[in-house]
Chains A and B, each alone.
Chain A
Amino acid sequence: MSHDSSAHHGGIGIYLIIFSALLVLTAVTVFAAFVDFGSFNTVIAMTIAIIKAVLVMLFFMHLKESPGITKLFVAGAFVCLAVMIGMTMNDFATRTWGSKVEADSWIKRTPHQYIETTQSKTPSQKYHA
């Protein structure tokens, strides 16, 4: 192993550490799924997934030692992804705010109640009920 390339591109040691970390985090996410954290279960699962993805990108995909322009590209992609998911979910969650029929809005209902209404009303009636 040439001294230069191991110093420049990361060695087998660091790959082994990241590999172990990814396996441990997989085990953690499975165990966490069986514990009741209420609505935080999804938050915990997604946080662990994001940590794993960042580890893969930084070390396996060598983003850590990539030029700044590459890092900027990737960061930009995730900003776009966050806008797409964040803004859409924001709209979805606040669609009924300020509406007089808030109690009747489908988003607040349980799936069973929702199914009953979908069977009796068309989608447009549901939104404007």
Chain B
Amino acid sequence: MSGHDLKTASPLQHHFANFKQQYEAVSLAMWSFLITEILFFGGVFLAYAIYREMYTQAFAAGSHHLSIFLGCLNTAVLISSSFTMVLAVHSARIGKKNLTSLYLFLTLLLGCVFLGVKAIEYHDKFINHLVPNDTFHFHGFEGPGIRIFYSLYFTLTGLHALHMVIGAVILVIILIQNMRGHYTSEYNNPIDMFGLYWHFVDIVWIFLFPLLYLIGRHA
């Protein structure tokens, strides 16, 4: 949008006294959304906890097939993307538009690297018959638990990856809007709120990584 539009339509909504109040209201709303997300993922984590209690050995055997190197790499990539995201929010708050664009771009790049590594991992599961469908077959462990482990693996990482894809799309939009000069040091709520979402997705992975990749490694 042009500068003319920005002058006529103030980013401060008329029902808020000032930018600080608007920021606090928007941020509380974003947290409310994230709370529904926490409980949504919590349900799948609970299913994981129960089945892992029932099939402890099967879960350990299934976990051993996952690449600990790729898991570690993706954890580092995602933590780095959270770091560049918080720097983007910081730069936006002090009004450094170009620096914000750079950090948003780096965040997007790291997010794509994460999804690329995830695609490599999924490809490995597909060619090794580890997708829980008719051709599912796991070498070295028999029983129903191993299939449940891979079902939960695909549910948890799939939901997480879906959040990453949605996040990447929103990130592209925010990056374009920032380059067009939509955000100032006064008003940058969309960048800030997207940051909350991105960090939430990072937190989900922080729990997924040890629960899926690191079971029974000492045995």
Chain A interface (Cβ < 8 Å from any Cβ of B): 1-2, 5-6, 9-12, 15-16, 19, 22-23, 26, 29-30, 33-37, 41, 45-46, 48-49, 52-53, 56-57, 59-61, 66-67, 69-70, 73-74, 76-78, 80-81, 84-85, 88-89, 92-93, 106-107, 110-112, 114-115, 118
- Can you list 30 A-B pairs with a CB-CB distance of less than 8 A? A12-B87, A22-B79, A30-B68, A30-B72, A33-B214, A35-B218, A36-B219, A46-B207, A49-B210, A56-B82, A56-B199, A59-B86, A61-B195, A61-B199, A66-B27, A73-B28, A73-B31, A74-B31, A74-B35, A77-B35, A77-B38, A84-B39, A88-B46, A89-B46, A89-B53, A92-B53, A93-B53, A111-B55, A111-B58, A114-B54
With A36-B218, A70-B27, A70-B31 already in contact, the answer to whether A57 and B76 are too (CB < 8 A) is no
Chain B residue nearest to A26 (CB atoms) is: B75
Contact count A vs B, C-beta below 8 Å: 145
Q: A37-B218, A56-B203, A60-B85 are in contact. List 8 more A-B contacts (CB 8 A).
A: A22-B79, A30-B72, A46-B207, A60-B195, A70-B24, A73-B32, A78-B38, A110-B57
**Closest chain A CB from B24 CB (angstroms):** 6
Which A-B residue pairs are the 9 nearest by beta carbons? A33-B214, A77-B35, A45-B210, A36-B218, A19-B83, A33-B217, A115-B143, A60-B86, A53-B203
